[in-house]
Structures are given as C-alpha cells and as structure tokens.
Amino acid sequence: MLHTPQPDQQLSLTVAGAANCTGAGPVLQSFLLMVRTAATIERNWRPPNPGKLPQITNNDLASAHGANLISATARTVVAARELGTQEPCFQGGGYDPAALSWSLRFNRTIRPYAGVASLQDYWRIRAQALGAERTEADLRPFSKREPEVVLQPPLFGAPAPTEGSPEPMAVTCNLHPLIAEVAAERYNRGAYNDAVRSAFQAVEHRVDTLVGGSNAVGNALMGVAFNVKPGPPMLTVTRSTGGSLESEQTGMQFLFKGAMQALRNPRSHGPDEKDDRDEAEEMLVFASFLMRRLDIEDDKRKAAGSGS
C-alpha cells in the first residue's frame, strides 16, 4: 500500500525524482558539477588530522567553475546541493539559508565519479557502486515512498551495467609492523611521499642488518643480498621449491632492486614530488610484502638458533 504523506511531513526529492521534473535540467547540471568538483578535491586531499573528511563548499564550486555558473542562480545551486544530501556519494553537510552558503562532505567513494558528464554516466557508476537492488529502489522518485510499491516505471532509468563490466573492489590488509611503525604517523597527516620513503628505507635497513653490515646501499645492497649467481642468495626470501626456485629467486632480486631504484631513490634524492594517496597506499603494501619476505630469512635463523 502506498502511504500518503502527512501535511507536516517533509519529502526529499532525489536525483531520480528531479529527473522526472520539468525544468530540472539546470539543477541536475549543477549537481553533476558538484560531483565532478568533489572528486577532484578528494584526489588532492591532505587531511589536517586523521578521520577528517574533505568537503566542497559554495566557494569551492564558484572558484573552480565560476564561468560555468553564470547561468545558474544561487538557489539553483542550493537545490542541487539538496539533491547531494540524498545521494550516497556524499556524506551530509551544512547549509546557511540566510547566506545561501553550504557544504557537502564526502570520502573516497566519490572517486569513480571524476569526469562524470551526464546523468546516464552518473547512474551507471552509481549502479556499479551500490548494486542493482539498491539502484532499482532509488530510482523511485520520492524517498518517502514504501520501497515495495511502484505504481509505474519512472520516466528516467539508469542503464544497467553492461555484462562483464568490472565491479569495484577494495582490499584491506594489515601492514607489516615494521612498515606501520615508520609510515603510519606520516600517512595519517597526509605526508604520503615521506611515508613511502620511510617504508622503503626501513626495508633497506633490515636487508643491511640481515646481511651483517655492508658498504653497499640501495640497489647495490640488494645485489649483495639477493644475487642468484655464482651461489645461492645470501638471504632467503622465497617459498618455491624444485624447478621454480631459481625463477622466484631471480624475480625477488629484481623486486628488491626495483623497489630501491624506482621507489626509494626518487623520494630520498628528489625532486620532492607529491604522491597520490592511492599510489602511496599501494606502495606501502608493496613495502609490507617485501618486509614479510624478509621474515622468511629471520625465521630461518631463529629456527637454526633454537636447533629445530
């Protein structure tokens, strides 16, 4: 049964509802502009303290797209902001009706929407992020309707994801304690370059310690520790046996050498380029992987020392 709203009940118009309203084009275009701008802001966000979310304000939108907002009245933009409060790509915000100033918060889930140019694009990305069931429910124009009742199909619908389109995927892992020890504080304050540099310096220091001290550093040190010929590597960081062993030994040698040349050296010797947060996270995971492989050598030595 469809429940009739009470006179004092406020209805919140969603993007799907606005798409069914005559004359809503400027509001929807302003909304898409907000989404694109928010995605750009998030990519460059450096949190002043852990847990603080980035936000977009009316001033941010005007600074980034002033020329494109000439035809949009302040109230049109505020209406677009109201749509944003109902959308999962945003995480709430604030509004001062007297000044027509507003804000919308967001997190990294805004990233797939970067460059979204049309409502069709927006719904496609949204459907991939939320799944078909949630998307179908959200296509009903007004958010207060009972979700099990649809009197007629909406005039506007999100195109279904094409068969075989990639689903969003996130991987969570605990970094090796020796990586977390040197990188966590730097990462949390947004010093991604410094966090990555410190992580690979920690890998280098541990290799040097396991080798027993060497005049070599960086790439040369990795050669001392992991060269396959003329004999077996000085440090064991492999798990393979049989015919695959030499292949893995050679590959691990190149991984450690590459980590020093491609990741440690540029951040240690400059120029000091800023690291993107996503890439910084991936590089920290790589450093953690190398550190865990060094655990193999450590465990082998502990086992030999205990006589087991």
Do 136 and 126 contact (CB within 8 A), yes or no? Answer: no
Distance of CA 161 to the CA centre of its chain: 22
Average pLDDT over the chain, rounded to whole? 80
Residue 100 in tokens: 């027509």
**Torsion angle, CA of 296/180/42/78, rounded to 10 degrees?**
130
Q: Is the peptide bond before 154 cis (omega within 30 degrees of 0)?
A: no
Q: Domain boundaries in the chain?
A: 15-138, 177-306
Residue 224 — very low, low, confident or very high, per pLDDT cuts 50/70/90? very high
**pLDDT tens digits, one per residue of 43-99:** 887 777 666 788 999 888 888 766 455 445 778 888 888 888 888 888 888 888 888
Which range among 28-32, 175-179, 303-307 has the greatest average pLDDT? 175-179
The pLDDT tens digits for 167-209 are: 667 778 899 999 999 999 988 888 889 999 999 999 999 999 9
Q: Are 30 and 94 in contact (CB under 8 A)?
A: no
**Under 8 Å between Cβ of 139 and 158:** yes
Nearest 5 degrees, angle CA 49-CA 66-CA 55? 20
| CB-based contacts of 114, cutoff 8 Å, min separation 6 | 36, 39, 40, 43
Q: What secondary structure letter does DSSP report for 261?
A: I
Q: Interior CA angle at 271 toward 267 and 273, to 5°?
A: 70
Closest to 72 measured CA to CA, from 34, 114, 20? 34
pLDDT at 146: 38
Give residue 1's pLDDT band: very low, low, confident or very high (50, 70, 90): very low
Residue with more model confidence, 20 or 302:
302
DSSP run (H or E) holding 133:
helix 132-138
Whether 145 and 2 have beta carbons less than 8 Å apart is answered as yes
Per-residue model confidence (pLDDT) at position 231: 79
